[in-house]
Amino acid sequence: MNGLAVENILEMQGICKDFPGVHALSNVDLAVRRGEIHAIVGENGAGKSTLMKIVSGAYRRDRGQVLFRGQPVEIRSPLDAQALGIAIIYQEFSLAPHLSAGANIFIANEPRGRLPGFIDRGKIRSESARLFAQLGVDIDPATEIRRLSICQQQITEIARALLMATTLLVMDEPTSALPEEEVRLLFTVIRRLKAEGMTILYISHNLDEVLEIADRITVLRDGVRIDTVPAATSNREAIIRMMVGRDVERTQVRSQVALGDEVLRVTGLSRAGAVKEVSFSLRGGEILGLGGLLGAGRTELLRCVFGADRKYAGSVHVGGRAVTIRQPLDAVRAGIGFVPEDRKQQGLFLGLSVRENLTAACLDRVAIGGFLRRRDESELVDHYVRSLDIRVSSQEQKAVNLSGGNQQKVILSRWLALEPKVLLLDDPTRGIDVGARASIHELIKKLADQGLGVVFVSSELPELLEICDRIMVMAGGSIVAEFPR
């Protein structure tokens, strides 16, 4: 640096933020250099998203100071952040699926046409095309968002940030739903943004990707900044050690186990445009992996088995007995539990407490004559909070305030309380940190050892290889290959 001070585009000094029963951030300092890719990592609940929401104006800090381009600033709302040139792209996109890519880029900033009350659609198309070309991608601005891939939708959000003259872009888990080839495309776009002078704050649980894309890495643990290190001189093990405060061993490949009787048989299951003549069986104590690319039909298959989507052909047997599953309640009564891919939209009642979420499917166990036995309910919740190590301030803590890993454990507990024969898991470790992932892996293996049959969907092949006894591969809605241990 030739003795010259490095220019920081963003400085956060002594940032504190508290929620009811939770110290989310405690005296956090962060310095982000102009034009760098700066990664923020940590376990679920470490404070990453809270810190970024303060940067973007979604949250107000309780104490501390924020400097942008060397000047103290007050970021009271997303509009304040936008005025400074700060934008955030959340894991759940804020796009209108039925509008075109161009319309989404210009939403709330539509150029006026020649006549009052009209929009200049020609300018929207031409400017959107220019922004996509600047990012080095070929996307037709007239295409509806719902017809674009997840990566193309991500790039559309980036194009919208370019339109707003963004100088600091926050990206929250940008690759969590992307297949490998689209991760490469997104990284190319991010590096192009950096070359043009934009600063990127990058939140991710994928440490291999962080080490590849970032210039520097800041590690948070329990709301405290542990350190900021250059990515080029760090490694995965050192980052994990800072994140969790100890060494975390990778999950060991599951050893050969004695399997029980058949607990699930699916024959000729089909759903128009999604699942085609799928047949398989599952034995007690077996972890059956389901792999394939995004859109292969894995999620649709599990939803059909569980009755969340209606099948038009095929049969399901549980424990050797034919069952008719027209809705999820039928599956629950047959002894099938289902943890969906999108825990926030499909798995949790975010505004309800941990207690209410955990017992939602088994109220008959803790009620007499339609009245809840609160003591029995509390004892049931305590049992699963202890046995699954769910970190909560109390049973009444809202599910929305839990970390991703703890949210996932609450959903698992809900189904375990029903004592099912079969558990369907759709990408259960997506978007959770390495420590919580290892904990969930061990829990799944323990449940299988107790005789539960598990169908495990994952987008990560190493994960399937680590914990599964058998792997089926899907493509185009069909089973195309099967690999025993």
- Name all domains of the chain by residue range, CATH numbers in brackets: 8-244 (3.40.50.300), 262-335+420-484 (3.40.50.300)
Q: Which CA distances in Å does 111 have to 102, 165, 186, 389?
A: 12, 16, 28, 53
What local confidence, expressed as pLDDT, does residue 416 receive? 86
What local confidence, expressed as pLDDT, does residue 290 receive? 94
What local confidence, expressed as pLDDT, does residue 10 receive? 96
Per-residue pLDDT tens listing for the chain (485 residues): 344 345 899 999 999 998 776 788 999 999 999 999 999 998 777 888 889 999 999 999 999 999 999 999 999 999 999 999 999 988 767 788 899 999 999 988 888 888 887 888 899 999 999 999 988 888 999 999 988 887 788 889 889 888 888 899 998 888 876 777 788 888 999 999 999 999 999 998 888 899 999 999 999 988 999 999 999 999 988 998 898 876 555 556 666 677 889 999 999 999 888 899 999 999 999 999 999 877 788 989 999 999 988 888 899 999 999 999 999 999 999 999 998 887 777 788 888 899 999 888 888 888 887 788 888 889 999 988 888 888 888 888 888 888 777 888 898 888 888 888 999 999 888 767 677 777 788 888 888 988 999 999 987 788 888 889 999 999 989 999 999 88
Residue 182 neighbours by CB under 8 Å, 6+ apart: 149, 150, 151
Contact 284, 263 (CB under 8 A): yes
What local confidence, expressed as pLDDT, does residue 225 receive? 95
pTM of this structure: 0.67
How many other β-carbons are positioned within 10 Å of the β-carbon of residue 295?
16
Beta-strand relationship, 37-41 and 216-221: parallel
Beta partners for 13? 65
Distance CA 422, CA 418 (A): 11
Contact 220, 42 (CB under 8 A): yes
